[in-house]
Amino acid sequence: MKFSGIAILWLVAVMMAACGGGRTTVPADVAADSVVYRPDYATGFIIKGMPGRQSTVIESMAPWQGADSVTTRLLVLRGGEEVPGGFDGQVLRGPARRIVAMSSTHTAMLDNIGEVDRITGVSGLRFIANKHLQERRPADIGFDGNFDYELLLSLRPDLVLVYGVNGPAVIEERLRALGIPFMYVGDYLEQSPLGKAEWQVALGETVDCRERARARLDSTARRYNDLKERVAGASAEHPQVMLNTPYQDAWFMPPVQSYMVRLIDDAGGRYVLPSNDTRRSVAVAREEALRLSWTADVWLNAGDYPDLKQLCRALPQWRDVPPVRNGRVYTNGRRSTAGGGNDFYESGVVHPDSVLLDLVNILHPALLPDSLRTMTYYRRLD
């Protein structure tokens, strides 16, 4: 998008004044070297403090795939404090009052800690399931690299929450040029269900409600672990679980340490491909996927088909596999949106206890009282 040089210089000046440009510095020996929050479950972030100062630094480690040696930093300045000399990260003169969220999981985290109204812009509004945001209609700056930077500037964000996939976020270079602070949120890289949810604490730090975010996480963790222990102590049966549907000619199956397989284990199931002990999903041929399906008792994440009839029409060779024959095929699309979003990948990230409850309902319903025999994200294909 092109706009005049005078306009862009004026807007950049406004943004720098509001978001930390034109920094003053304090001595370099005032460094963030004390840990004020070390995650219990997440591996991708840590929050550090500085001696005698209110300000903190959020470090995002390995913020995208293959970035094991990369750490990005966001300094959250408080109490009129100045930027330490030599600090080379992003600077937020906190707390953030106007936030642009590049992922729907970011919106779910802020919603869960009671700060969703700080969101003034999103990427791909039609994919977001959050009802409050759909009613309020924050600005949509676009997605997949087609961003409206003029609109972004007009929002005067204090902070943009970004993520990288196989490299830095597409938007990072332009944010640097415009002087808009950003923070990498790597929840999608976490393999632990509670580790994904713990990123809400990092977001809480940017809006001065870390303790509230931690309290929400602790409540979720208690429910999750109580349910996990109930299943482990009460069931000797471990149904075999098949996952996913084909993408083009390949059927992608996650590794045993992945988020989804950990949920299956914690719900008392067994994954049909325990040999994938890599760090990535592997593509198996359809013939192998069909063989694995014949060993399964339950089939999860079976696409977005409305019913079994449509599934079997698309995959006729799977018509007689045990999960189909016994009516134990499930999709996680109960809370899909008309625009193509799926709340399983949004609020499900901060509510792994609810996802686990769904899976126990599927794998071991007899272990639950009638009051818990409902599902939030999953539905059976009839």
- Tens of pLDDT along 37-84? 999 999 999 999 988 899 999 999 999 999 999 999 999 999 999 999
Domain boundary among 172, 187, 217: 217
CB-CB contact of 219 with 105 (8 Å): no
Asked if residue 24 belongs to a domain, the reply is yes
If you search the block for the tokens 């319903």, which residue do you land on?
365
Q: Could you tell me if residue 349 is inside a domain?
A: yes
- Regarding whether 197 and 318 lie in a shared domain, the answer is no
Same domain? 211 vs 327: no
Q: Is 23 a residue whose pLDDT tops 80?
A: no
Is residue 210 domain-shared with residue 309, that is, in the same domain?
no
State how far the Cα of 45 lies from the Cα of 221, in Å rounded to an integer.
Answer: 18
138 within a domain of the structure (yes/no): yes
Distance between CA atoms of residues 135 and 113, nearest Å: 19
Q: What is the DSSP letter of 96?
A: P
Which pLDDT score is estimated for 6? Answer: 29
SS3 256: coil
Last residue in a domain, options 190, 217, 244: 217
Q: Are residues 195 and 241 in the same domain?
A: no
Range of 173's domain? 5-217
Tens of pLDDT, residue by residue over 251-286, are 999 999 999 999 999 999 999 999 998 888 999 999
Residue pLDDT, tens place only, 217-255:
999 999 999 999 999 988 678 999 999 999 887 899 999
Residue 23: CATH number of its domain: 3.40.50.1980
Domain boundary, last residue among 217, 248, 281: 217
Q: What percent of the chain has pLDDT over 90?
A: 84
pLDDT at 31: 58
Question: 285 with 369, same domain?
Answer: yes
List, in sequence order, every beta strand (DSSP E) within 239-305: 240-243, 251-253, 270-271, 282-284, 298-300
Instruction: Assess if residue 122 is contained within a domain.
Output: yes
* Nearest Cα residue to 203 out of 193, 191, 217, 190: 217
Q: Which helix (H) or strand (E) element contains residue 34? A: strand 34-37
Is residue 172 over pLDDT 90? yes
Residues 209 and 107 placed together within one structural domain of the fold: yes
Domain count, the chain: 2
> What is the predicted pLDDT for the residue at 7?
33
- Residue 229: inside a domain, yes or no? no
Cβ distance 274 to 295 under 8 Å? Answer: no
191 and 109 in one domain?
Answer: yes
17: pLDDT strictly greater than 70: no
Measured CA distances, 346 to 171, 198, 312, 368 (Å): 21, 14, 28, 25
The strand ranges marked E within 66-148 are 71-77, 83-84, 90-93, 99-101, 119-122, 139-140
pLDDT for position 93: 94
- What band does 32 get if pLDDT is binned at 50, 70 and 90? low
Q: What are phi and psi of 164, to 5 degrees?
A: -115, 155
Structure-block tokens of residue 289:
């996927």
Quick check: 194 pLDDT over 80? yes
Q: How confident is the model at residue 323 (pLDDT cuts 50, 70, 90)?
A: very high
Does 273 share its domain with 332? yes
Taking all residues of the chain, what is their mean pLDDT, rounded to a whole number?
A: 91
